[in-house]
Amino acid sequence: MIDIGFWGHAAAHPDALAVVEPDGREHAAGDLLAAANQLVHGLRALGLVRGDSIACCLENAVEPLELFMAAAQAGWFLTPINTHLATPEIAYIVQDCGARAVFISPRTAAVAADAVASVPPAARFAKGPVDGFKDYDAFKAAQSTATPDDRSAGGPMTYTSGTTGRPKGVRRASYHVPPEAVSTPQAMFLGLFGILPGSPGVHLTVAPLYHTAVLNFATNHLHLGHTIVLMDKWTPEGTLDRISRYGVTCSHMVPTQLIRLLKLPQDVKDGFDVSSLQCMIHSAAPCPVPVKQAMLDWWGPVLYEYYAASEGGGTLASPQDWLKKPGTVGKPWPISQIRVLDDDKQPVPPGTPGTVWIRMGDHTFEYHQAPDKTDQAWSEGFFTVGDAGYLDDDGYLFLCDRKADMIISGGVNIYPAEIESVLVQHPKVADVAVFGVPDDDWGESVKAVVEAAVGVPADDGLRAELQDWCQGQLARYKQPRSLDFVPALPRDPNGKLYKRKLRDPYWEGRDRAI
């Protein structure tokens, strides 16, 4: 197997365009390499050694990528922190990961500056002026750009989103091997989508780099020598503009973004050239079948879907797989196995929903400083993140929903994703969340919370219209018993829905069955 890695590519092609920042600033591969080397030398001088952790709370820019390529060749764990968290939440992650250096910006200082008390002042850095923090650029400028000695593979230690409780740090084993020994198989993962070494590529990053998949896809493209185009605040128009302007070949999205792209006026969609696209990858949540079909009709057979989590994966559905099996998330990766088990961890028949368990070769992980949670996630070499799904007779996986989100009404299992898929297709709906609320007769009843489309009155007329819409497409027991409106659903910038924030107030003082 050939060695693949950003560091070698950048040394051989220093003038190649590596990163385009959201404001259009461009960075050559050689400059990104020099910055990564400087960070290694500087942080080692502060006493950091292999196995240590560093953390950053930064918006999408070149700096998180510099930090990643430094950590990945110094044997460190990099924890990128969600910039939308509150100060106590950031403080918890900084302390839990054991960060020995932390990096923020003026934009994130309002919430992050007071959250780093566990980090020595000499190891606090800011990209821009922040009281009590050392200047990031000045720190780099004082260091050598030479290739560091004793290079050793490191990588990210990302934290789960915390949609079902406290965020958990996903920490993989650390091996004292050259960084290329890790970057090669990681970058070869892109081959599942037809993205191969030696191929030209421009990858559009539409979501924050603090997300596991977003960071992995961006850095794996850098390992192949591709260009990364970064967005900061996502908009459907901005996405189409960058695809057209930079000749984007690949991106990674979530279904919510696909839905909002489709709801653009036709004349807006027609105004951008998307013919450069070769591979548009989506994941993170079940995608409504009509949405996926409409995107294929618009962009052609370039949509690939996969199922995975921060902990590992997974399955892959090529465009051809999906057209043969609409709604599937595919078959296991070559190195992976999938089981669907009941609550007693026994296999269920094809077509029967159960808990999805994954084995990814010899891959292992642990939840940092949470041995009980780690033990609960593993069984016989397989792990689960609590998703429900089923395998068909041909071994294709179909997802139902997160098991924790399943509604049990009158003893019947109801999967919110199915109901959300119906409601979000209504032209007057911008976004929707469905969950169970307490019901004295049935245990739980189905609640829908809707964000109306721009300019649409959220009133009783719309409520009646949406209830009629559901009656024509859903069995009676799946139809929402109640429907509320909110100005905006609580989603993070990558489209992850914080359903707990909507559901938990209804369950205060009561226990759910799940």
User: Which band of pLDDT confidence, cut at 50, 70 and 90, is reported for residue 514?
Assistant: low
User: Which band of pLDDT confidence, cut at 50, 70 and 90, is reported for residue 512?
Assistant: low
Q: Is the same domain home to 131 and 241?
A: no
378, part of any domain: no
Q: Is the same domain home to 132 and 81?
A: yes
Rounded average pLDDT over 37-51: 97
With a cut of 90, say whether residue 440 has pLDDT above it: no
Q: Is the same domain home to 38 and 141?
A: yes
Average pLDDT of every residue of the chain: 91
User: Which band of pLDDT confidence, cut at 50, 70 and 90, is reported for residue 48?
Assistant: very high
Q: Is the same domain home to 290 and 190?
A: yes
More confident call, 47 vs 372: 47
More confident call, 171 vs 439: 439
pLDDT, residue 239, reads 97
With a cut of 60, say whether residue 513 has pLDDT above it: no
The one-letter code for the residue type at 345 is K
User: Which band of pLDDT confidence, cut at 50, 70 and 90, is reported for residue 1?
Assistant: very low
Rounded average pLDDT over 30-50: 98
More confident call, 250 vs 172: 250
The range of the structural domain enclosing residue 72 comes to 28-149
More confident call, 480 vs 366: 480
Query: What is the spatial distance between Cα 30 and Cα 41, in angstroms, rounded to a whole number?
Result: 17
Least confident span in 98-107, 270-279, 408-417, 431-440: 408-417
Q: How far is CA 195 from CA 8, 190, 217, in A?
A: 19, 5, 11
Q: Is the same domain home to 113 and 202?
A: no
User: Which band of pLDDT confidence, cut at 50, 70 and 90, is reported for residue 163?
Assistant: very low
Q: Is the same domain home to 49 and 137?
A: yes
19, part of any domain: no
157, part of any domain: no
Positive or negative, the CA dihedral 378, 379, 385, 391 is positive
162, part of any domain: no
pLDDT, residue 288, reads 85
Q: Is the same domain home to 100 and 193?
A: no
What would the two tokens of residue 434 be? Answer: 């469905």
Which of 269, 300, 331 terminates a domain? The answer is 300
Rounded average pLDDT over 51-79: 97
Which of 149, 168, 203 terminates a domain? The answer is 149
pLDDT, residue 366, reads 83
pLDDT, residue 119, reads 94
Rounded average pLDDT over 358-381: 85
More confident call, 163 vs 429: 429
With a cut of 90, say whether residue 412 has pLDDT above it: no
Query: What is the spatial distance between Cα 46 and Cα 37, in angstroms, rounded to a whole number?
Result: 15
372, part of any domain: no
Q: In total, how many domains does the chain have?
A: 3
Q: Is the same domain home to 128 and 206?
A: no
Q: Is the same domain home to 131 and 185?
A: no
382, part of any domain: no
**Domain CATH number, residue 434:** 3.30.300.30
With a cut of 70, say whether residue 436 has pLDDT above it: yes
375, part of any domain: no
Q: pTM of the prediction?
A: 0.82
pLDDT, residue 511, reads 66
With a cut of 80, say whether residue 167 has pLDDT above it: no
CA atoms within 13 A on the CB side of 270: 3
Of 182, 193, 150, 169, residue with least CA distance to 281: 193
Which of 300, 324, 359 terminates a domain? The answer is 300
Q: Is the same domain home to 145 and 183?
A: no
Q: Is the same domain home to 37 and 113?
A: yes
155, part of any domain: no
With a cut of 80, say whether residue 2 has pLDDT above it: no
pLDDT, residue 14, reads 97
**Domain CATH number, residue 103:** 3.40.50.980
Rounded average pLDDT over 221-227: 97
With a cut of 70, say whether residue 7 has pLDDT above it: yes
Contacts of residue 272, defined as CB under 8 A and 6 or more positions apart, other chains included, come to: 240, 241, 243, 244
pLDDT, residue 255, reads 87
Q: Is the same domain home to 183 and 137?
A: no
pLDDT tens-digit readout, 76-125? 999 999 998 889 999 999 999 999 999 999 999 999 999 998 999 999 99
Q: How far is CA 433 from CA 171, 310, 477, in A?
A: 31, 23, 17
pLDDT, residue 432, reads 95
With a cut of 90, say whether residue 345 has pLDDT above it: yes
Rounded average pLDDT over 355-372: 86
